[in-house]
Structure 1
Amino acid sequence: MGRTRTADWGTFYVTGGGSGIGRHLAGLLAARGASVAVFDRSTPAEVRGEIERARSDVDQQVRTAEVDVCDADALAAAVAEAVAAIGAPRLAINSAGVSINDRFAEAKREDFERTVAVNLFGSRNFAAAVLPHMGTGSRLGLIASLAGITGGYTYAGYAASKAGVIGLARVLRLEYAPEGIGVSVICPPEIMTPMVRQYDATMHPATRALKDVAGTLPIDEACREMLDGLARGRFTVIPGAKARRAALMTRMLPERVTTAVADRIVARAVKSAGRNDL
């Protein structure tokens, strides 16, 4: 993989930068010379310090704003303030997201609505906040998920919201291409973040079995692949060779084949879990 081209990414905006993928991306872009604006409900002081220490030049600015992506007006105001302070974003990534998972029959309606509100409406709100400030050669990235392409056991709210993000990104790409603004959708497999580690302890065996098909990536490897794909101007960015293979199989193989394979994986996992409960 060649060195990521980030010469035009002098200003980077990211939601969910207080932890996980957003936090790691902020550090990587700061190390590559970008001023960084982080939008999150809470950004600990140690995270801001970590980003500042990663800078390649002390003149790079680091700005944080406490805001919820579900609050469209507050997010738009926070972005406008950042533009006035450090300049318009050359690269903007929506990384804020939640994953509240259970089998559909046991899942709460409120959890489904919260997941869609943060993952899908939050993507819409960030796009609406940053795109008016972005110019030719800039790029917006919306983080979806491989689950938005393949689905997943216990993932009703999550997969539905991420599929919506993919659809939103397709429309934005078409509408903003004439203005010279690139739009990408990032569809990672499982990435080792604090949110994933927390969920892993209670994950259903069928969920685990399906995730293993696409593999799990260390956060640094995943984020570097994301930035490389964005720098190459790709619309769909899928980090991880196993994940790209899983997405290709879902899109190219006959549906009867892909559903049969998935059903077999789930059946084996459910049967195995039943034996373990005896």
Structure 2
Amino acid sequence: MSYFTNKTVYITGAASGIGFETAKQLIQQGSNLVLFDVQPLDDVVSTLQTMNKHNALIAGYDLDVTDAAMTTTQIAAAAHEQAPDILMHFVGITGPWTFDEMSQEQFERVMNINVFGTRNVLAAVRPFLSRGKQVMVTASMSSFTGSYGYSSYSASKFAVWGMMQSLSFEWKPLGIDITVFAPPPIDTPLTQSEVGVMSKAGVGMKKLAGELKIENAVKSMLKGVEKREFLVVPGVMANLIRLQLRFFPVKWVNWIGNTTVALSMKK
């Protein structure tokens, strides 16, 4: 028996990346899984069923988080069948373009998915959350520090961080615990999509935080949820950067970033 055994976990963005890896680790612990994604989930459900040694529930729902009405309808339909104990929200996209190269449409798409999509999911699941329930939302190290080529992504993740801090103040007295997962780069289809798009300077700054294996990052996140921690930052380098942001002057942090950009551009 683990902490997650017999708990019903809603996972958004479950078709790939961190969401899919989380589903794989949880099904082995006997969690009931309710999966949501805009991508088809048939293959994901089939894969999870082969790992389902506890005969847990596995259900899948189509979901576009930018559609508030659809999000409300789909989560309500899922809750009618099986109410959530924990929501784990992973839907998000990057925006690996410099500000000067980015169109308004690209900027708005990042904000719509990462910020408004998160809001839509939280609003839809809120009627089904009561004392003892939990919410885990994926932020990023970019929630705390900007990076070259990440003006849209950092703006969205700063917003998610602020939203979740505020919601923690509102929901904690009601017995609903929030965890914010703020990892450094993880080897997922999301980060792989940046290859050949992000500039050398952006790649150089990302390397400062190091890249984690997806299995280890998810294990750290699940431990944080089990302990009901508010913030989970996996990885040694990511935590060093987090401490640096807390204790060093902004001009020092910016000097490191500017130096990294300059050196990257010379390569």
TM-score (norm 2): 0.96
SS in 2 for 1:191: coil
Per-residue CA shift, 1:7-61, capped at 9, x if unaligned? 5x61000111111111111111111111111111123421111122222312x11
Per-residue CA shift, 1:184-243, capped at 9, x if unaligned? 211111001112112123321111111111110111111111111111111111111111
Give the structure 1 partner of residue 180 of structure 2.
Answer: 185
SS in 1 for 2:34: strand
Is the CA contact (8 Å cut-off) linking 2:97 and 2:197 kept in structure 1? no
| CA deviation after TM superposition for structure 1 residue 6, in Å | 2.7
Q: 2:137 aligns with which of 115, 135, 142?
A: 142
Q: 2:243 aligns with which of 245, 248, 270?
A: 248
Give the structure 1 partner of residue 3 of structure 2.
Answer: 5
Give the structure 2 partner of residue 34 of structure 1.
Answer: 31
Q: Distance in 2 between matches of 1:52 and 1:126?
A: 26
Equivalent positions of 1:115-264 (< 5 A) are: 115-264=110-259
Q: 1:23 aligns with which of 20, 32, 43?
A: 20
Counterpart amino acid of residue 164 in structure 2:
A
| CA deviation after TM superposition for structure 1 residue 4, in Å | 6.9
The count of aligned residue pairs is: 267
Is the CA contact (8 Å cut-off) linking 1:13 and 1:93 kept in structure 2? yes
Per-residue CA shift, 1:158-179, capped at 9, x if unaligned? 0000110000100110101111
Q: Distance in 1 between matches of 2:95 and 2:255?
A: 26
Per-residue CA shift, 1:84-133, capped at 9, x if unaligned? 11x22111111011112211111111000000000011111111111220
Q: Distance in 1 between matches of 2:74 and 2:250?
A: 44
Structure 2 unaligned blocks of 5 or more: none
Counterpart amino acid of residue 6 in structure 1:
F
Q: 1:45 aligns with which of 27, 42, 45?
A: 42
SS in 2 for 1:216: coil
Is the CA contact (8 Å cut-off) linking 2:142 and 2:157 kept in structure 1? yes
Is the CA contact (8 Å cut-off) linking 1:5 and 1:228 kept in structure 2? no
TM-score (norm 1): 0.92
Equivalent positions of 1:81-100 (< 5 A) are: 81-85=77-81, 87-100=82-95
SS in 2 for 1:140: strand
Is the CA contact (8 Å cut-off) linking 2:209 and 2:238 kept in structure 1? yes
Counterpart amino acid of residue 63 in structure 1:
A
Q: Distance in 2 between matches of 1:238 and 1:34?
A: 24
Give the structure 2 partner of residue 62 of structure 1.
Answer: 58
SS in 2 for 1:217: coil
Is the CA contact (8 Å cut-off) linking 1:4 and 1:231 kept in structure 2? no
Is the CA contact (8 Å cut-off) linking 2:130 and 2:174 kept in structure 1? yes
Q: Report the RMSD for the aligned CA atoms in angstroms.
A: 1.5
Counterpart amino acid of residue 202 in structure 2:
T
Return 126-135 or 161-170, whichever deviates more: 126-135
SS in 2 for 1:28: helix
Structure 1 unaligned blocks of 5 or more: 273-278
Q: Distance in 2 between matches of 1:140 and 1:55?
A: 24
Counterpart amino acid of residue 214 in structure 1:
A
